[in-house]
A and B are shown apart, each in its own frame.
Chain A
Amino acid sequence: MGLEERLPAVLTLNAEKLINWARKNSVWPATFGLACCAIEMMQTVAPRHDLARYGMERFSASPRQADLMIVAGRVSQKMAPVLRQIYDQMTEPKWVISMGACASCGGMFNNYAILQGVDQIVPVDVYVPGCPPTPEILMMGIFQLHEKIQKMPLRLGRAH
């Protein structure tokens, strides 16, 4: 990224832990609910499986202020360029959770209309299976993402 890449590791170690802890505890998702998975994503924010406990209830409509894109639902051919544009508009650091079978691999719709996996156009960090995944499974995916964020080195830039 910059100066942090050239400093010896021992100087940035504690800062890295602190910064990653701060990042993982307030990930702001971008509203990218497409289909049925979006409803389960909304249920995750609902009172029972409260996502606000993890600092993630602030869904940001503007991608400039979002950290996480939860691709919740099937991505059609017409929507794919829009998805890439929203991903490009997000600022670093950014992560992508591919929620559900349709976003991960095209799901049950192996046809002309659906992109067979959103990882064809954006790099995905966590794949959450299910059709649709229940809120518990989505939260498990989010915890995996938190672990990944915690271990993310400050010095390593993303290779995309």
Chain B
Amino acid sequence: MSPLTDYHARIRESIPEAVLEARTELGNEILVVDAEHLVPAATLLRDEFGFEMLLDISGVDWVPREPRYDVNYHLLALDDNRRLRVKVQLPDVEAPHLPSVIEVWPAADWHEREVYDFFGFVFDGHPYLRRIFMPDEWIGHPLRKDYPVGGVPVEYRIEPAYVGANIVPSRARPAAGGVPARLRRDRGRQSHWTWTGPPASDVRREAGGAPASDEATPEEKAKE
């Protein structure tokens, strides 16, 4: 008889409606527990079955499945290296609530904060439920599936100052009209004797500065 059926049977004795499902998947034993009865079930697992260590709490957003969210508690019994995953399923509401297991395993403190930060689940009974990774004033919960990955669009443009650079790089030659100062090896450096003014990139455009010696500006204007 597998230990999973022991856990299921024992929990069913004292809290009949707690366990919704018990299955083994890919060598991991999983107990799906109802959110309301999470704390008594957790206490039972810790005291009677020796699951003293809470390794991790992880949330998963299974949109468009209903119930949308999964919260997995990964437990470890140190005596004989038994593992168990307790799963709580949460509905698709703006801020799903579930009880905090911080009284059962103090390790839950930061893990619950992490899950709140990334998914927005509210753990009732947690003494200091604040964001832990994102800045305090961040809006949104990044690991939800409707939150975009973010970032910037990356474009690979052909640099017009060099002809042939993208086809045969070793045969690239400067285009007619010269290479702009910012791409030259000496970066348009001027000597003390022939100083004609700061390079165009240093002069603020809004102030109407005159780009005296830099041929790039009409090119750049044409590009834009």
Contact = CB atoms under 8 A, between A and B. Distances in A.
Q: Does chain A touch chain B in the assembled complex, meaning CB atoms less than 8 Å apart? A: yes
Interface of A: 9-10, 13, 77-78, 106, 109-113, 116, 151, 153, 156, 159
B135 A77 contact: yes
Interface residues of B, number: 20
B198 interface: yes
A101 B189 CA distance: 27
Contacts of A13: 192
B135 A112 contact: no
Interface string B172-203: 00000000000000000100110100100011
The 5 closest A-B pairs by CB, nearest first: A112-B150, A110-B151, A9-B192, A159-B202, A78-B135
Contacts, number: 40
Chain A residues touching B, majority SS: loop
B151 A106 contact: yes
B193 A112 contact: no
A156 B197 CA distance: 10
Interface of B: 133-135, 138, 142, 147-152, 154, 189, 192-193, 195, 198, 202-204
B189 A151 contact: yes
Contacts of A113: 134, 142, 150
B135 A110 contact: no
Nearest to B189: A151
Contact of A116 (B134, B142, B151): B151
B198 A156 contact: yes
A46 to B, nearest CB: 31
